[in-house]
Amino acid sequence: MNSIGFILGTTLMYATPLIYTSLGGVISEKSGVVNIGLEGMMTMGAFIGATVGYYSGIWWLGLICAGIGAGILALLHAIASVTLGAEQVVSGIAINFLGPGLSIFLCRKFFDGKFMTKSISLENKVPKIFKGVFPKYSFFDNLFNQEITVYLAFIIVFIMWFIFYKTKIGLRIRAVGEHPEAADTLGINVHKVRYLCVIMSGILSGFGGASMSLAVASNFFPTLISGQGFIALAAMIFGKWKPQGALGACLIFGGAQALVIFVGGKDVPISLDILSTIPYILTLIILMGFVGKSVEPAADGKPYIKE
In a domain, 305, yes or no: no
300 assigned to some structural domain? no
**Spatial distance between the Cα atoms of 84 and 67, rounded to a whole number of angstroms:** 24
Boundaries of domain holding 180? 2-290
Task: Say how many domains are in the chain.
Answer: 1
Is residue 203 within 8 A of residue 210, CB to CB? The reply is: no
Report the CATH number at residue 68. Answer: 1.10.3470
Which pLDDT score is estimated for 69?
97
In the chain, the amino acid numbered 302 is: K
Give me the pLDDT at residue 269, please. 63
pLDDT at 268 over 80: no
Tens-place pLDDT, residues 31-73: 999 999 999 999 999 999 999 999 999 999 999 999 999 999 9
What integer pLDDT is reported at residue 272 of this predicted model? 67
Is residue 295 situated within a structural domain?
A: no
pLDDT tens digit sequence for 127-140: 998 887 788 878 88
Q: Would 277 be classed as within a structural domain?
A: yes
Residue 138 lies in a domain: yes
Residue 296 CA to residue 178 CA, distance in Å, equals 9
170-226: pLDDT as tens digits: 999 999 999 999 999 999 999 999 999 999 999 999 999 999 999 999 899 999 998
- Is the pLDDT higher at 85 or at 289? 85
Residue 46's φ and ψ, nearest 5 degrees, are: -65, -45
Please give the distance of CA 165 from its chain centroid, rounded to a whole number: 21
In a domain, 93, yes or no: yes
Least confident of 97-101, 181-185, 282-286: 282-286
296 lies in a domain? no
At 89 the pLDDT is 94
> 15-29, 115-129, 271-285, 293-307 — which is least confidently predicted?
271-285
What is the pLDDT, as a whole number, of residue 123? Answer: 85
Q: Compute the distance between CA of residue 12 and CA of residue 17 in angstroms, rounded to an integer.
A: 9
* Burial of 44 (C-beta count, 10 Å sphere; 0-12/13-18/19+): buried
Q: Is the residue at 303 inside a domain?
A: no
